[in-house]
């Protein structure tokens, strides 16, 4: 008999990624299939695109629909309730209130002609599930993941491999907790954050979205820097910093060192709450295709050094702070893994 598989569908606004795991959690292929989400054509078109994408993924890997024992769907939050979109940035306004769980489940069941288990969850949390499975190996170590990109994705994965979702599905939105940046010499008005909170969110000090504000702050010490006089937009200037830092530009290096220190404080904060044995750091700063080994090592070293004095003594000796390895695959794989874990409950 053909082996069972669990499908992961990771839907973003523009593209959806498809992958699968075997019934022991092994990844079927690291070659991700990526197709347009078709969100501009409405709800029915999206569902049709997902079913077609799963079919194409199966065909490419010589798999059959009859092998599919469950499906996971990874979607951006926030949600009205389980499987129902709330007003979500980057998705059409008409998607608010859409019960994507019911519509996808019905379409899958129509396709296979019998019941099909479906789980739906937060994309960042599912990314954490996949990275956690690799980071912890055969142990039951708990894992927190921090993924600074345009925003700051956070996840906590428990000893059973499942993410902390929270009662309103907003668990581990730690990027929007207050960062104690006064410890790093930054006083004055807290940076603003896209979420609207005024207490100086971690996200504002650790991600691309907050970089323009950090650049203004740090340029005070570099009045003659090229970027102090450049006519480029704040966003363009922010985008140039990662390359500049890797070329040794002292201003850019100082900016990422600062971001790493704030991440270190966040690691320490999370350790007081979660006591996770492993912290996985992902996102664009850990991308091996666009950053040098030296850049990534420096960033991780500063995180470790900053966190250490704030940890409890047993944590200091045992905590592992390591880079993510799956990149853009993680959320689709995590969705498939959660579908598999739930099938065994």
CB of 194 to Zn ion, least distance (A): 6
Q: Which is closer to Zn ion, CB of 202 or CB of 341?
A: 202
CB of 132 to Zn ion, least distance (A): 24
Q: Which is closer to Zn ion, CB of 135 or CB of 172?
A: 172
| Distance in angstroms (rounded) separating the CA atoms of residues 4 and 179 | 45
Sequence-distant (≥ 6) Cβ neighbours of residue 103 within 8 angstroms: 43, 47
Please compute Rg for the chain using Cα positions.
21
Closest CA to 157 of 129, 122, 126: 129
* Intra-chain end-to-end CA distance of the chain, in Å: 23
What's 99's DSSP letter?
B
CB of 151 to Zn ion, least distance (A): 9
Buried b (16+ CB within 10 A) or exposed e, 80-110: eeebbbeebeebbeebeebbbbebbbebbee
Q: Which is closer to Zn ion, CB of 33 or CB of 193?
A: 193
81 DSSP β-pair partners: 84
Neighbours of 218 (CB within 10 A): 19
Closest CA to 73 of 27, 112, 31, 108: 108
Q: Which is closer to Zn ion, CB of 193 or CB of 300?
A: 193
CB of 306 to Zn ion, least distance (A): 21
CB of 176 to Zn ion, least distance (A): 4
Q: Which is closer to Zn ion, CB of 175 or CB of 264?
A: 175
Q: Which is closer to Zn ion, CB of 126 or CB of 191?
A: 191
CB of 312 to Zn ion, least distance (A): 28
Q: Which is closer to Zn ion, CB of 197 or CB of 296?
A: 197
Q: Which is closer to Zn ion, CB of 82 or CB of 199?
A: 199
Q: Which residues bind Zn ion (CB under 5 A)?
A: 176, 193, 195, 197, 201
Cite the beta strand spans of 288-343 per DSSP E.
320-323
Sequence-distant (≥ 6) Cβ neighbours of residue 330 within 8 angstroms: 126, 127, 128, 130, 131, 282, 324
CB of 195 to Zn ion, least distance (A): 3
Query: Edge-to-edge, what's the strand order for the sheet holding 152-157?
Result: 152-157, 143-148, 278-281, 320-323
CB of 202 to Zn ion, least distance (A): 8
């Amino acid at each position: 008999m053909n082996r069972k598989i669990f499908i992961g569908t990771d839907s973003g606004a523009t593209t959806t990624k498809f992958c699968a795991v075997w019934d022991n959690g092994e990844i079927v292929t690291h070659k991700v299939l990526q197709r347009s989400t078709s969100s501009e054509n409405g709800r029915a078109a999206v569902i049709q695109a997902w079913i077609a994408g799963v079919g194409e993924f199966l065909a490419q890997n010589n798999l059959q629909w009859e092998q599919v024992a469950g499906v996971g769907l990874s979607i951006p939050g926030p949600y009205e309730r389980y499987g129902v979109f709330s007003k979500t940035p980057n998705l059409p306004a008409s998607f608010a209130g859409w019960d994507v769980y019911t519509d996808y489940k019905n379409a899958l069941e129509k396709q296979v002609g019998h019941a099909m288990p479906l789980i739906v969850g937060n994309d960042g949390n599912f990314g954490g599930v996949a990275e956690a499975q690799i980071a912890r190996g055969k142990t039951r170590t708990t894992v927190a993941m921090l993924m600074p990109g345009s925003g700051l994705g956070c996840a906590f994965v428990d000893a059973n491999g499942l993410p902390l979702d929270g009662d309103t599905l907003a668990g581990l939105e730690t990027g929007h907790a207050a960062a104690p940046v006064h410890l790093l010499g930054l006083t004055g008005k807290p940076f603003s954050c896209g979420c609207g909170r005024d207490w100086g969110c971690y996200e504002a000090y650790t991600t691309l979205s907050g970089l323009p504000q950090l650049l203004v702050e740090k340029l005070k010490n570099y009045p003659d820097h090229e970027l102090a006089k450049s006519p480029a937009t704040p966003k363009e200037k922010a985008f140039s910093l990662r390359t500049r830092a890797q070329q040794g530009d002292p201003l850019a290096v100082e900016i990422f060192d600062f971001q790493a220190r704030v991440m270190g404080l966040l690691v320490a904060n999370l350790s007081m709450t979660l006591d996770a044995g492993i912290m996985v750091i992902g996102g664009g700063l850990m991308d091996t295709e666009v950053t040098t080994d030296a850049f990534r090592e420096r960033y991780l070293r500063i995180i470790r050094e900053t966190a250490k004095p704030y940890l409890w003594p047993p944590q200091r000796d045992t905590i592992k702070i390591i880079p993510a390895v799956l990149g853009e695959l993680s959320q689709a794989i995590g969705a498939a893994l959660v579908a598999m874990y739930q099938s065994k409950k």
